[in-house]
Amino acid sequence: MKAVILAAGRGSRLGERTKDRPKCMCMLGGRTLLDRCLDSLEQAGVRREETGIVTGYRSELFTVPGVTYFHNLHWEQTNMFYSLTMAKDWLEREDCIVCYSDIVFHPKAVRVLMDSPAPLAITSYSGYWSLWEQRMDNPLEDLETFRTDPSGRLLEIGQKPERREQIQGQFMGLLRFTPQSWDWVGQTLRRPLPKPADKLDMTTLLQGMILQGFPIQTIPVEELWLECDTQQDILTYEQCFPQMLRG
């Protein structure tokens, strides 16, 4: 099992924290987000030698030994999916965990993806509502739809919700592709999508795959997960979860 960490972005909403470093090198509780990500992957059983990092902004600052580097030369003009295609040689041949680099997650979230028999699986965070209440006044304004059927198959993702019942979980930025489901991605791209391929975010891609009939299995996770988008996020997490962040 390989893992691909998407770390090309600057993260402009983090302001001065990313003036001279990539978003994933921001500190949270005394450690960088990238270090936390690598550690969780390793604890789940993914060796450094099986891990790839897609770089972009300030790529020269990445010095993690043992990993494979992919580089998105066009990181300023492209989005998450385009960065992922830099690792297509891996995705075409092997099962791959795909991981955002601005998140904090428990190793169990990776292990359940590794154990899933589904060709394409994603995790969802069950505690999203209380987390969003700590991050902002009106969670419904920021959250997106996430609906599944009773078996956990994803029915809708990434749309604007009208009510809380349309949000059954929060996409965590953790996925597992197999060569079969990566081929589904290629088939989806041959159909009309709301955005061109180089501008695609991951949830728009997943919604496009749903509309083409490809099955996406969701796996709920209760262990704490954090998303670091703004300077206020980091301040909030360091205040609310100091014990967890010491680990």
C-alpha distances (whole Å) from 179 to each of 26, 157, 167, 176 are 33, 22, 29, 10
CA proximity to 145, closest of 224, 203, 192, 100: 203
pLDDT tens digits, one per residue of 169-226 = 999 999 999 999 999 999 999 999 999 999 999 999 999 999 999 999 999 999 999 9
pTM: 0.97
Give the single-character DSSP code of 22. Answer: -
Q: What is the domain count for the chain?
A: 1
Residue 2 banded pLDDT, cuts 50, 70, 90: very high
pLDDT tens digits, one per residue of 60-111 = 999 999 999 999 999 999 999 999 999 999 999 999 999 999 999 999 999 9
8 A C-beta contact, residue 155 and residue 149: yes
- The domain that holds 151 is classified in CATH as 3.90.550.10
Q: What is the mean pLDDT of the chain?
A: 96
Tokens of 246: 């010491």
Range of the domain at 85: 2-245
77 vs 195: CA distance, rounded Å: 13
